[in-house]
Structure 1
Amino acid sequence: MERANKYANRSKISEAKFRQLVKLFAIDLDASQIAQVAGLNRNTVNRYLTAIRQRVAEFCEQESPVFGEVEIDESYFGPRRVKGQHGRGAGCKTIVFGIFKRQGKVYTEIVPDCSRKTLQAIIRGRVGLDSVIHTNGWRGYWGLVDLGYQKHFRVNHAENEFANGRNHINGIESFWGYAKTRLARFRGMKKHMFLWHLKECEFRFNHRGQDLYKALLKIVRARPLF
């Protein structure tokens, strides 16, 4: 009798087949490629990949950076801006807020807007008061000193200033470039799936250079799927 799959409750595939699926996912094959290589139904693969991405997203929430020297920025994902629409997030774009701990990891969160209230609420909950914070000149970051962040430095992109010594946000911008390039592969992605794919980008970026296969198995073993 085949033993139960310890990585997925009531799994319809064997543990060996699940491990193969995770290994193929770790090397960044898409669902169609995994289905073909592993000999699995495409819908079955999609079901498992969605569940894995959800576990990865939960894991990323626990790993968010909270102290040290950090870069903070917002970015916009989705279709090109619609002509006649202006402002941040115009053209049905999804707004993503990011915190990057230098020499460390990135944390991302989808936000409804870039208002001072929205952005500062996240910063207060995620970043320690003794941190050194680097941002662009967006007014949503004004007033951080009043909140107790005494080391807030701004780089003014509007005046073509992109770096001044250690004052820059190149790290978080590097992540934005990586995430947008990677997500371009998933054209036609359903909107409710965007968060899971975003968090997958976050996880891959944070654990680059590590054995993603072993890291993924450890996450799923701690909390089996389904």
Structure 2
Amino acid sequence: MKNKYVFRSHISERQFRDIIRYFSIDMEASTIALLTGISTNSLRKILKAVRLRLFKICEQEDHCHESIFECDQSYFGARRVRGVRGRGSKGKTIVFGIYDRRRESVYTRVIKQVDSKTILKVIKAVVTCSSTIYTDGFRSYIPLKKNRYLHHETVEHGRNEFARNEVHVNGIENFWGITKISMMKRKGFKGSSFLLHLKECEFRFNHRHSNIYHFLLSIFRKCPLKLY
């Protein structure tokens, strides 16, 4: 069936546009399948291809420039892991996030551990040394100034300090809240599926002032989807 949005498609262009319209308003897959008359398995394959494209879009965007950034990490997974107390990351997925205040956009990266070396590697890929960085007082951020990030200021959450004039990380924490609500609504994800949904949340946040439906259709018309 000829479809300018999808290579070798077995669905019509109208059905695909309906899928993207419902996807754009963050409708659940089971509801989209019901409304479009497409089988759940076929729909999941299509949505996976859409999310893979969103992942590529997020990774290809130019993030490295001078700005005011907020950096923070968050833990995704069960609220409590048996045998682990406090902030332990065992059994959870750690995500490092960088919020750009000027562009009001966010960049995320799944990391294995929260140490200075790992955090610096992500920051250097996005933040120029002349930029301003705001973080909490977590010890892994201490080496930033030694690595030429001289405009680094912190708020001490451990001392109940959450904002000091312009020094705060409310922007990235707002994104964490939105993302965790989205993950909870779908009862969580595992493995590569988690990464795709994380990047979907990043894409939605960064394009929240745009018409996502029209944006995606224009992208898929220029470069049709391949169903994997």
1:43 aligns with 2:20: no
Is contact 2:72-2:136 (8 Å) kept?
Answer: yes
Find the counterpart in structure 2 of residue 205 from structure 1: 205
User: Number of matched residues?
Assistant: 224
Residue 65 of structure 1: which of 63, 66, 73 is its match? 63
Q: Which runs of 5+ in 2 are unaligned?
A: none
Distance in 2 separating the partners of 1:22 and 1:77: 27
Name the SS of the counterpart of 2:208 in structure 1.
coil
State the partner residue of 1:76. Answer: 75
Separation (CA, whole Å) in 2 of partners of 1:65 and 1:137: 24
**AA aligned opposite 1:76:** Y
Q: Are residues 188 and 152 of structure 1, via their aligned partners in 2, closer, same or farther at CA, if it must alter by over 3 Å?
A: closer
**Shift in alpha-carbon separation, 1:102–1:28, aligned structure 2, 3 A:** same
Task: Give the alignment partner of residue 24 of structure 1, picking from 22, 25, 30.
Answer: 22
**Counterpart-to-counterpart distance in 2, 1:200 and 1:89:** 26
SS in 2 for 1:168: coil
The answer to whether 1:11 aligns with 2:4 is: no
Deviations 1:197-222 (A, max 9, x none): 11111111111132110111233334
Where does the alignment leave 5 or more consecutive residues of structure 1 unmatched?
A: none
Alignment TM-score, normalising by the size of structure 1: 0.94
The 1:153–1:188 alpha-carbon spacing in structure 2 relative to 1, beyond 3 Å, is closer
Note the 1:29-178 alignment, pairs <5 A: 29-63=27-61, 65-66=63-64, 67-86=66-85, 88-103=87-102, 104-178=104-178
**Counterpart of 1:108 in 2: which secondary structure?**
strand
Report the Cα offset of residue 188 of structure 1: 5.2
Does the 8 Å contact 1:64/1:105 carry over to 2?
no
2:4 & 2:93 partners in 1: Cα distance? Answer: 36
Q: For the residues of structure 2 that align with 1:128 and 1:111, how far apart are their CA atoms?
A: 21
Shift of 1:64: 5.2
1:126, CA displacement in angstroms? 1.3
Identity of aligned residues (%): 46
Q: Name the Cα RMSD after superposition.
A: 1.5
Which residue type is aligned with residue 75 of structure 1? S
Secondary structure of the residue aligned to 2:217 is helix
- Partners of 1:141 and 1:87 lie apart in 2 by 20
Distance 1:89 1:186 in 2: 24
Shift in alpha-carbon separation, 1:219–1:86, aligned structure 2, 3 A = farther
Contact 2:75 2:89 in 1 (8 A): no
TM-score (norm 2): 0.93
| Greater mean alpha carbon deviation, residues 69-78 or residues 189-198 | 189-198
